[in-house]
Amino acid sequence: MKNKNFNLVIIGVGGQGQITLLKVLAQAALIEGYDVKTSELHGLSQRGGSVEVHIRFGKEIFSPLVNQAGADLILALEFQEALRSLYYVAPKTKILINKYFLPIPGEPLISPNEILSQLKKFTSKIEIVEAAEICKKELAKEVFAGVYLLSFASNNNLIPLKPQSILKAIKKIIPEKYLELNLKTFDLAKG
């Protein structure tokens, strides 16, 4: 990681909390002394449509956007949306997927097998996590799946940021009333 930049794309459906995840990651990168840039989208694009946000950190960052085929890691908060992230995927890219489906209005659901076979054309480094299921069971809130994925990624060395830095960032970014649930979610993914 010393001279390399880290490129992450978070993809999902508007309303899944992408911007909060981005803020936490950016803060954690700052805590570790990295230069960092993010790019997010607001407004129209947030209303239940596909939303992708980017974060890059390292020694010196210019572009807030990850290059085509330039991602180190993809966090897919919805299964079908993982397909759209392939624009950023190269053989080196890892894809971490939340096992969660939100139907596309007016379209048939794409089967997990179909999605996986397409993803495998781009990379073999795919991991599916039952984040939504676990969050629903343990916290009765599927929307925390993003924080779960983040914790999973940092605890499994998929993101070069220490879990302590991310925890510190969560404490700084997340409003008081949601903090406890977020910290609990972060702990859940440790095991």
Residues that bind another protein (CB under 8 A): 13-14, 22-23, 26-27, 30, 35-50, 61-70, 80-81, 83-84, 86-87, 90, 104-107, 110, 118, 121-122
The letter for the amino acid at 58 is G
Report the nearest approach of another protein to the CB of residue 35 (Å). Answer: 7
Phi and psi at 146, nearest 5°, equal -60, -45
Query: Which burial class, exposed, middle or buried, applies to 134 when counting CB atoms under 10 A from its CB (0-12, 13-18, 19+)?
Result: buried
How near is the Cβ of 155 to another protein at its closest, in Å? Answer: 23
184 three-class SS = helix
Nearer to another protein, 13 or 188 (CB): 13
Q: How far is the CB of 4 from another protein (least distance, A)?
A: 12
By C-beta, is 91 or 191 nearer to another protein? 91
Nearer to another protein by Cβ, of 86 and 131: the residue is 86
Q: With helix as H, strand as E and coil as C, how does 94-118 read?
A: EEEEECCCCCCCCCCCCCHHHHHHH
Q: How far is the CB of 190 from another protein (least distance, A)?
A: 26
CB atoms inside a 10 Å sphere around CB 115: 20
Give whichever of 67 and 124 is closer to another protein, judged by the CB atom. 67
